[in-house]
C-alpha cells in the first residue's frame, strides 16, 4: 500500500481514521505514564519471588472482613481510611521493598503512588490485587495476621 492510497483511505473514512489516531495516542500516553509513575506493577508470580528473595513487606488495604476471609501469608492489614506513609508499620521500611495489595488493585495503586511521593525507594503494586492472586491459584491465609 502506498502513501497515496493510505491518505485516500483516510480521506474516505474520516471517523475510522480519527478513531485509530485517538486509540494510538491513548495507548502511547498510558505506556509513557506507566514508565514515569515511580512504582512497578507485579504479577502474582513476581510477588512470590519478591517475598521469598527480598523479604518484601506486603500491605493489604482490604477491609478487615475481607482480609480475614483470605490474605497473602505474611501480609499486614491497614484500613484504607488509616493508610498513611508515615504509619509506624511503614516508617522503618523506606529502603525495603513494599508491596501494596487490595482486592482488585485499584486502591493499592493509589497507595503505591503516595508511598513513592513520600520517599519510599522500592514500591510495588499487585496488578489485579487479591483477585489476580486467586486466579493464579496461589493460596490465601484466613484469619488475622
Range of the domain at 21: 3-35
Indicate whether 9 pLDDT > 70. Answer: yes
Average pLDDT over residues 46-50: 94
Q: How many domains does the chain have?
A: 2
- State the CATH number of the domain containing residue 73: 3.40.250.10
Query: Strand ranges (DSSP E) for 50-104?
Result: 57-60, 76-77, 97-101
Helix (H, G, I), strand (E, B) or coil at 87: coil
pTM: 0.75
Q: State how far the Cα of 141 lies from the Cα of 128, in Å rounded to an integer.
A: 18
pLDDT digits (tens, 9 = 90+) for 85-129: 888 878 778 888 999 999 988 889 889 988 988 888 899 999 999
Residue 145 lies in a domain: no
107 and 44 co-located in one domain: yes
16 and 47 co-located in one domain: no
Query: Strand ranges (DSSP E) for 54-101?
Result: 57-60, 76-77, 97-101
- Could you tell me which residues are beta bridge partners of residue 98? 57, 123
Amino acid at each position: 500500500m502506498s502513501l497515496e492510497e493510505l491518505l485516500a483511505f483516510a480521506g474516505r473514512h474520516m471517523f475510522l481514521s480519527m478513531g485509530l489516531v485517538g486509540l494510538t495516542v491513548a495507548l502511547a500516553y498510558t505506556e509513557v505514564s506507566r514508565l514515569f509513575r515511580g512504582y512497578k506493577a507485579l504479577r502474582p508470580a513476581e510477588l512470590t519471588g519478591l517475598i521469598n528473595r527480598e523479604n518484601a513487606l506486603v500491605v493489604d488495604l482490604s477491609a478487615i472482613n475481607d482480609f480475614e476471609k483470605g490474605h497473602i501469608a505474611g501480609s499486614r492489614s491497614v484500613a484504607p481510611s488509616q493508610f498513611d506513609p508515615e504509619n509506624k508499620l511503614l516508617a522503618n521500611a523506606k529502603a525495603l521493598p513494599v508491596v501494596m495489595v487490595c482486592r482488585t488493585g485499584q486502591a493499592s495503586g493509589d497507595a503505591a503512588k503516595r508511598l513513592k511521593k513520600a520517599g519510599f525507594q522500592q514500591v510495588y503494586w499487585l496488578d489485579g490485587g487479591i483477585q489476580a492472586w486467586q486466579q493464579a491459584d496461589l493460596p490465601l491465609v484466613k484469619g488475622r495476621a
